[in-house]
Structure 1
Amino acid sequence: MKNILSGFLLLMINMVHPQLQKVEKVIDSCVKKDNFNGSVLLAKNGKIELLTYQGLSNRHYTVPFSDDTRFHIFSLTKTFTAVLIMQLYEKGKINLDATISTYYPEYTGEASKKATIRNLLTYSSGRANKDISSPELIHQAYDNTIWNLDDFISTYLSEKLIDPPGTKFSYNNGDYILLGKIIEKIYHKPFEEVLKEQILIPLKMGNTGFLHHNDIIRNIDEGYTADESDVFQLHMPTNTYIDNFYSAGAMYSTPKDLLIFDQAIFNHVLFGKTTLETMLTPSKKLEDTALGFWVYPKKFGSVNTLFVERQGEGYGHSANWVHLADKNLSLIILSNTKDIRYLNKMRERIIIAYYGQ
């Protein structure tokens, strides 16, 4: 019996290793041919099968990436915000189909009594997309001023409706900033404190947190961008007041911490199965947008799966988080040089290689 078991284990190792070797070849190609700089984590059933760091976290002092590196994750923050909302939903403290004014009566935007919490979660509030609609507005909203949250909301997020709520997808930070404010109103605490108490401390995510522009965060990465004409000429983008991204994009984390968060969501640690099903139910008319994720069926060669994804990008940083819901496969790619378009292609190459296609 022992010999049979040993032979079976050896067979399994031989089956798995070629898969991972193919994945490693894809990553090596991305490094050598495309100058990929960052980290890749691949996990099956919550167990890390591959974790690699490629390149430099800080080019001023030639600091390589490592387990200690903390990455800016920008819009991956939105899923943390969505989870906090879903926890309130499960506890009966928030109705997803109640309007903004129910929990935030001081809000003066036209969406107040018309747009719902669900509309905010799916970027379908109908507000004019004023906060990220143009480079000029991005500069005004996030680079020039350290905004008081209420002032930011009144200046950028209280405009008139241009679409009936729930009818049109329009990606923006503002809907999730309003969700952060609603979380504060319900808990009577700053968003950052709620985040710690409800997610980071219970899950022991010690390398994840909320950023302020003047924080000194040990081992945090720097972001770099490249001119399209020459990918090898990197430069640092304009500094930003990260605080202004708030509950839509002001967090940092690590690949291992993000895997903890991933597993806590999909294994019903942070809320139950029924709540997860609600969170992962997409709206086809809103471009497969679920609550904090995009969810849709996808095929990789002969492999069919339910694809759950979240992306983040800003000021030289990009993040890509994928969970194959029916296979409990998690893929997290973080970079401080590549954009989302590149990471989207890279993730597909990795998944195809993993399944031997």
Structure 2
Amino acid sequence: MKTAISLTVATSLPVAALTNTNQVQAASYNQTEMRSFVRQTIANYYARGTTVIVKDGHPQQISYGYGYYGRRLGAGNRKVVYPVCSLQKVITAAMITQLMSAGKFNQDTKISTWYPNLKGAANITVGNLMTHTSGLKAADTEVNRGRVYSEADAINWVVNKLNSTSQNQPGKFSYNNTNYILLAGIIRAVTGQSYKQNVKDRIINPLNLKRTYFLEDVPSGMTDGISYTWNRKNYQWAQYVKKQQASQLVGAGNLFSTPMDYYRIQVGLTNGKILNREQFNLMTHLKATSGNGYSGGMYIKGNLKSAYGNLYNTHFGNWIQMTSDNRNGLIMFLNQTQNDENRNKVIGYQILNHIQPGTF
């Protein structure tokens, strides 16, 4: 069991630049200067965390501070993984897209196929779930309910919650974990396997990911990170993700990873290891999208893709902003924040404009 530790400022640990292959790739930019800029920018906002910046197709990991201050584990330490938060939704959407490509159903299939007892399901499509236009909204999906749920129980809780409260008609965008928890249930029903097993078979194993786990599977000797906030000094009000909270968010926020593994996932969405380019374009340009660009777990604007995630009652803040060809961008997993999405994006945009001015 973790203990919440509130201590003073720690010095940063050294960080190595990594690549996504077994060969060292020569970067076309000054990595030392980039590392200094990124670390200083994060420090200016009293934030801490680990990032992967991508410039001209070259990924570089840059970290600042501690991922687990009490154990003196640096933010980029190989023993530490972080909650993926809502950035997991693109993984769920990718598996749904795989099943659509296999002819199991399509974006117009009504979800009453799998949820016949869900109120209004006959009017809601798979595409509605993937674009948050279902009209469904269950409150308190992230509030710790005090028990560890099985996948089936977490999904059933959502169905029962929806049936006991009034819902909107499908069509308008309304972001809610409900949609992706129900998508996890569809994956389970169609494949006859757990959501977890599908992630292992369809995402983790094909990409040979070494630092991506569900919370209950984090190996001995490794740990999930602890989040903090700044209050006159660093590493205050420590909070971590409880097993109970993670278990509620099957398909929508129960996976743990690192920015470098998540970078590999992004590349896998178009290089054929998870999806090919045509399938990715289908996933991110579904008919049900409301016009704000959200489709398949990401916001798409021109040649840019982005997503943001956090978890209730923690201080984690994750953000991805990349070009759709994965050549330039940023994946940022912060574990000390001011619980302010806009403030975290200010950090990110300063870094992005340093990576590739005028692109983001």
* TM-score using structure 2 length: 0.80
Corresponding residue SS for 1:281: coil
What is the one-letter code of the residue matched to 1:124? T
1:224 aligned onto 2:227:
yes
Query: In percent, how many aligned pairs have the same letter?
Result: 20
- Give the secondary structure class of the aligned counterpart of 2:295: coil
Note closer, same or farther for the CA distance 1:91–1:209 as it changes in structure 2 (3 Å cut). same
One-letter amino acid matched to 2:69: R
Where do residues 1-357 of structure 1 align in structure 2 (5 Å cutoff)? Answer: 16-17=29-30, 23-44=34-55, 46-48=57-59, 50-68=60-78, 69-102=80-113, 104-105=114-115, 107-132=116-141, 138-139=142-143, 142-147=144-149, 148-159=153-164, 162-165=167-170, 167-212=171-216, 218-226=221-229, 230=232, 232=234, 234-237=236-239, 240=242, 241=244, 242-281=246-285, 285-297=290-302, 306-314=303-311, 315-325=314-324, 328-338=327-337, 339=339, 340-356=341-357
Q: C-alpha distance in 2, partners of 1:217/1:45?
A: 37
**Given that residues 127 and 160 in structure 1 are in contact (C-alpha distance below 8 angstroms), is that contact kept between their aligned partners in structure 2?**
no
Write the distance in 2 (CA, Å) between the matches of 1:355 and 1:342.
Answer: 20
Question: Which residue identity is paired with 1:267?
Answer: N
Give the distance between the partners of 1:274 and 1:14, measured in 2 at CA.
29
**Structure 1 unaligned residues grouped into runs of 5+:** 1-12, 133-137, 298-305
Q: 2:45·2:347 contact (CA, 8 Å) conserved in 1?
A: no
Question: Match of 1:176, SS?
Answer: helix
Judge which range, 172-181 or 26-35, deviates more: 26-35
Q: How far is 1:62 from its partner?
A: 2.0
Give 1:294 deviation, angstroms.
Answer: 0.5
Q: In 1, are the aligned partners of 2:269 and 2:277 still within 8 Å (CA)?
A: no
Change (3 A) 1:92 1:63: same
3-state SS in 2 of match to 1:75 = helix
Q: How many residues align?
A: 322
Q: CA deviation at 1:257?
A: 1.1
- Contact 2:227–2:315 at 8 Å: present in 1 too? yes
Tell me, what secondary structure is at the counterpart of 1:82? helix
Return structure 1 stretches of 4+ with deviation > 3 angstroms. 20-26, 157-162, 214-218, 229-233, 237-240, 282-286
CA distance in structure 2 between the partners assigned to 1:174 and 1:195 by the alignment: 19
Q: Distance in 2 between matches of 1:296 and 1:350?
A: 19
Q: Deviations over 1:94-133 (max 9, x none)?
A: 211111112x14x42213211110000111111234245x
Pair 1:63–1:317, CA change in 2 (3 A): same
Taking only aligned residues, the RMSD between alpha carbons, in angstroms, comes to 2.6
CA distance in 2, matches of 1:310, 1:110: 29
Residues 322 and 332, structure 1, Cα contact 8 Å, conserved in 2: yes
